């Protein structure tokens, strides 16, 4: 993607890792100065640490237009993640700075976690855990069936809708088909019905038809608040929504209303608009209804993901230094 080319002006590269959160950064096979931080919080500190960098590595530390302007030597922002929504790509593009990610590194882990959340929500696993642990209502005359607002549907009767057909979406499709589910791949929301690509289904049709909806698309201007009150009202009342993409793709206030008013059966999310999510800053945590299942942005965590992240960051940066931009998101 994009037409950026390496433009190093000579001398040794200075590589600054602003947060080594996911896993250790591998060694690079070119002359360079390397500085690593466990985390970097606050724009002033980001600029202080990155000011002389030609290459920045980040996972959770944002790269704003202000940071870009304050780093005159910066040439490459390399993400040890798939998502890059915390970088100001417009500012980077204007300066000719490459922005690259680790495509597909987390796909297997995220897709598996999506199905774990779906099954937990459908089978009321969290509620059953609590009941079992506290020995509540075991006698047959007052058994735990009250935890199920509807009879759980068998896998072969589910219609899985997937929004975002990148590596995560393709992995989710393979799992869904292996489980016997019918699978619908949603076209982009902005695409007219008569322009839908082969193999895709119009966005609105997927929303209205699916019994399980998995969100696996990146967060950008088109996808922000993509699933909000109109979409949730149009879904089946027996459907389950699972978000393993980014928090801003699903409107949190609308989701909470949909769950409380039973527009949908259940939901599960691994991601939040503001992270780390706290009860003070997140309405979903403060008011969490029993038909909402949560996990703290851990869907990516897995052996294959960590191995892939190290491989991708090494390939991306060494290719850039050698004169070729790969894994560009611009």
pLDDT score, position 140: 56
pLDDT score, position 3: 42
pLDDT in tens, 232-244: 999 999 999 999 9
- Global confidence as pTM: 0.88
Of 176, 303, 168, 171, which Cα lies nearest the Cα of 243?
Answer: 168
pLDDT in tens, 261-312: 999 999 999 999 999 999 999 999 999 999 999 999 999 998 889 999 999 9
Number of H helices, E strands in the chain: 11, 11
DSSP helix, strand, coil percent of the chain (3-state; round to 5): 35, 15, 50
Contact 211, 238 (CB under 8 A): yes
Q: What's CA 54's distance to the chain center, in Å?
A: 27
Contact 28, 314 (CB under 8 A): yes
Phi-psi region of 33 (alpha: psi -120 to 50; beta: other; left: phi over 0): beta
Give the whole-number percent of the chain exceeding pLDDT 70. Answer: 94
What domains, with CATH codes, occur in the chain?
13-105+304-322 (3.40.50.720), 107-294 (3.40.50.720)
Contact 153, 95 (CB under 8 A): no
pLDDT in tens, 157-194: 999 999 999 999 999 999 999 999 999 999 999 999 89
Q: Give catalytic residues, as residue numbers.
A: 246, 275, 297
Give the 3-state secondary structure of residue 262: coil
pLDDT in tens, 110-140: 999 999 999 999 999 998 888 888 766 565 5
CB atoms within 10 A of CB 64: 15
């Amino acid at each position: 993607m994009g037409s950026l080319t390496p433009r190093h002006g000579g001398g040794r590269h200075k590589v600054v890792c602003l947060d080594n959160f996911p896993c250790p950064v591998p060694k690079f096979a070119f002359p360079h100065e390397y500085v690593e931080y466990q985390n970097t919080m606050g724009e002033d500190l980001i600029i202080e640490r990155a000011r002389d960098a030609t290459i920045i590595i980040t996972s959770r530390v944002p790269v704003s237009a202000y940071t870009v302007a304050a780093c005159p030597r910066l040439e490459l922002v390399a993400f040890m993640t798939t998502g890059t929504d915390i970088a100001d790509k417009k500012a980077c593009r204007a300066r000719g700075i490459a922005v690259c990610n680790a495509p597909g590194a987390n796909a297997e882990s995220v897709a598996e976690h999506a199905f774990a959340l779906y099954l937990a929500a459908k089978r009321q696993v969290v509620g059953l855990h609590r009941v079992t642990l506290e020995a509540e209502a075991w006698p047959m005359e007052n058994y735990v069936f009250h935890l199920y607002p509807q009879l759980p549907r068998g896998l072969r009767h589910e219609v899985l809708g997937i929004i975002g057909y990148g590596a995560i979406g393709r992995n989710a499709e393979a799992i869904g088909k292996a489980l016997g589910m019918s699978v619908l791949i949603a076209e982009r929301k902005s695409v007219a019905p008569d322009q839908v690509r082969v193999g895709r289904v119009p966005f609105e049709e997927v929303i209205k038809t699916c019994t399980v909806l998995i969100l696996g698309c990146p967060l950008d201007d088109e996808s922000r608040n993509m699933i909000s009150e109109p979409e949730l009202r149009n879904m089946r009342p027996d459907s389950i929504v699972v978000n393993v993409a980014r928090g801003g793709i699903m409107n949190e206030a609308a989701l909470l209303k949909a769950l409380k008013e039973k527009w949908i059966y259940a939901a599960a999310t691994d991601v939040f608009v503001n992270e780390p999510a706290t009860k003070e800053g997140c309405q979903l945590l403060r008011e969490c209804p029993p038909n909402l299942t949560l996990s703290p942005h851990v869907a990516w965590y897995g052996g294959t993901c960590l191995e892939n992240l190290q491989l991708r960051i090494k390939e991306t940066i060494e290719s850039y230094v050698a004169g070729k931009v790969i894994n560009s998101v611009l």
